[in-house]
Structure 1
Amino acid sequence: MAAYYGKLKILWDELANCDQIPKCTCGGCKCSIGSQLEKRREEEKVHQLLMGLDDVSYATVRSSILATDPLPSLNRVYLMLIQEERVKTITKSADERGLVVGLTAHVSNKARGGGEHGEKAVTCSKCGKNGHDVKECFQIVGYP
């Protein structure tokens, strides 16, 4: 997100240098057209930022930002997107940890002699340990 925003910021700064907002020189204006044009330019930047985002990852947050009235400032939108990116990163790492824990539980269940189909645990008559019988006992066949 930071790299994407940085590239857009460079383009916006170059565009602002070429297309500057006109300022009133007569001194008698009370319409504040300069601030209105600046606000419109910032809203355009917000829309450009949001429309350039990945639809799969940011569709929900984009919809919620566009639904707010008035439209948040560019800085606020950027902070919301950074927060969403952090949440997705944390959620993704939690999902990966859950997969590893599930795999460990599955392996440890097989190691106890539970088997894949719920077979009864076998106890070795030679060493007295669960999970193998006398034909597979390491004390008889040797250790690997």
Structure 2
Amino acid sequence: MRPSLSIFAAFAAVFNAMAAPHCMNRTDVNGTSPSSTLSDPVKTYDCDGSVMCSTLKVQWCDEAVNWSLIRTDEAIYGPAGSGQPHLGACHGRGTDFGCAIVLEGSKECKRSGNDIWWDYQEIRKSGCHHCGHKRWGNGCSTTIDYYPECDWVR
């Protein structure tokens, strides 16, 4: 007895729907909903990135956050202009392009290496497979994205 092609198509559609990645707009990884009004939605996590984002090897991002990031509780990371000694961590193809985990926002946005490591885990847990953001504080974000030169991230 040969199963019908439509049965296989139905199973394929179900399995494909379960495997398709998606981003969830929520305030935390536990799925609690935003406390904002409908006219002012809060997106704590998103999977946005540059047009080159899909070219990244996720392994580069993992290596940057696990091997290049200085894991302490001291807030030694900040965006450009913050006066902090480090912008983030980057790993890639030699000194060329790669995956960077950096802080963005005003000069008041400061974070420890351990905080950035946890931000990275939460971005991944929210459904982002390549690039993404975690927004925290007053316009601050931890960002995973393509970076043209890893040497620029120290």
Pick the TM interval, shorter chain: under 0.3
Bigger strand share: 2
Bigger helix share: 1
Q: Greater relative contact order (Cα 8 A, min sep 6): structure 1 or 2? A: 2
Please tell me whether Structure 1 or Structure 2 has the larger radius of gyration of its CA atoms.
Answer: 1
Q: TM-score, structure 1 length as denominator?
A: 0.24
